[in-house]
């Protein structure tokens, strides 16, 4: 549940930085850095431990450690509580303490690294496929890309265009699914067609096998048109 979990550095990197920091603070101490596979780690099994450093928000965790130690027949640890520095510039959605979660929150929507030239990418036209569920922001992103000069191809509109009367897939769709899908004006009744295919994988595949190749052909035509326009 961490914000931008993908920006958390790998364990090996974090452990190395932690060791470097601790040795800078006091090189004479011995530091054992142990990866935790559970909430407790060696704190509830190591008889040589005497003290646990906690903060105000982790004190309850320290008390849970001592409860487990008593259950394991080990003496309680002294809980030494330290105060964490407050972030005077934190926003309403960020933690009050200085934390990496707040930093990652601030990085949302920012460019993490400069764009690089990639020789494997085509120079023109550069095709971006934009997809996502209902309400995910496809229309908004497409509008922004259009304002930046992109040539927009709406696959939903093409999907409807392929089986309008006279469209490239019209005759085959009617032949495959029957005259009952046709309205009085000759257009295909999408609700009737939908009722025939949705929930029936075989019929849905029959429809997509007719419609999708025609959509792909129309998309390629529009890409060529965009290329011609520069």
Does residue 166 fall inside a structural domain?
yes
Does residue 169 fall inside a structural domain?
yes
Long-range CB pairs of 42-49, under 8 A, 24+ apart, other chains included:
43/69, 43/77, 44/68, 44/69, 44/72, 44/74, 45/72, 45/74, 47/74, 49/77
Which of 35, 68, 84 is the C-terminal boundary of a domain?
A: 84
pLDDT of residue 220: 93
* pLDDT higher than threshold 80 for residue 122: no
pLDDT of residue 183: 92
Does residue 168 fall inside a structural domain?
yes
13 band by pLDDT with thresholds 50, 70 and 90: very high
DSSP string, 1-12: --TTGGGSPPHH
Does residue 145 fall inside a structural domain?
no
Does residue 34 fall inside a structural domain?
yes
Tracing tokens 């990496």 back to the chain, one arrives at 100
104 band by pLDDT with thresholds 50, 70 and 90: confident
Per-residue pLDDT tens digits for 19-36: 999 999 999 999 989 888
User: pLDDT over 70 for what percent of the chain?
Assistant: 100
**H-only helix segments in 72-189:** 100-107, 138-147, 155-161, 170-177
| Domain around 74 | 5-84
* pLDDT higher than threshold 90 for residue 117: no
Does residue 93 fall inside a structural domain?
no
The tally of domains found in the chain comes to 2
pLDDT of residue 132: 87
The CATH code of the domain that includes 14 is: 3.40.50.620
Cβ neighbors of 18 (< 8 A, separation 6 or more) are 33
pLDDT of residue 6: 77
Which of 33, 68, 84 is the C-terminal boundary of a domain?
A: 84
Dist CA 59 CA 77 (whole Å): 12
* pLDDT higher than threshold 80 for residue 123: no
Per-residue pLDDT tens digits for 51-83: 999 999 899 999 999 999 999 999 999 999 999
Per-residue pLDDT tens digits for 174-216: 999 998 999 989 999 989 998 988 888 999 999 999 999 999 9
Averaged pLDDT for residues 132-139: 86
Does residue 141 fall inside a structural domain?
no
pLDDT of residue 209: 93
Per-residue pLDDT tens digits for 170-185: 999 999 999 899 998 9
* pLDDT higher than threshold 90 for residue 100: no
Four-CA torsion 170, 173, 178, 182, nearest 10 degrees? -40
Does residue 132 fall inside a structural domain?
no
The CATH code of the domain that includes 197 is: 3.40.50.300
pLDDT of residue 210: 93
User: pLDDT over 90 for what percent of the chain?
Assistant: 53
pLDDT of residue 230: 81
Which of 84, 101, 134 is the C-terminal boundary of a domain?
A: 84
């Amino acid at each position: 549940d961490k914000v931008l979990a993908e920006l958390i550095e790998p364990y090996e990197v974090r452990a190395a930085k932690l060791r470097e920091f601790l040795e800078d603070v006091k090189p004479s101490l011995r530091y054992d850095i142990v990866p935790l596979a559970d909430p407790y780690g060696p704190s509830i099994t190591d008889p040589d431990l005497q003290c646990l450093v906690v903060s105000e928000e982790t004190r309850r965790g320290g008390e849970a450690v001592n409860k487990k130690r008593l259950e394991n027949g080990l003496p309680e640890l002294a809980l030494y509580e330290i105060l964490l520095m407050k972030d005077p510039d934190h926003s309403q959605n960020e933690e009050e303490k200085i934390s990496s979660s707040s930093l990652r929150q601030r990085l949302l929507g920012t460019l993490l690294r400069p764009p690089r030239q990639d020789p494997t990418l085509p120079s023109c036209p550069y095709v971006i496929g934009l997809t996502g569920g209902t309400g995910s922001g496809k229309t908004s992103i497409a509008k922004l890309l259009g304002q930046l000069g992109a040539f927009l191809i709406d696959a939903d509109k093409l999907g409807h265009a392929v089986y309008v009367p006279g469209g490239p897939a019209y005759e085959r769709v009617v032949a495959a699914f029957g005259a009952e899908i046709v309205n009085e004006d000759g257009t295909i009744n999408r609700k009737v067609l939908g009722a025939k295919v949705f929930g029936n994988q075989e019929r849905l595949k029959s429809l997509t096998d007719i419609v999708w190749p025609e959509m792909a052909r129309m998309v390629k035509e529009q890409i060529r048109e965009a290329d011609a326009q520069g």
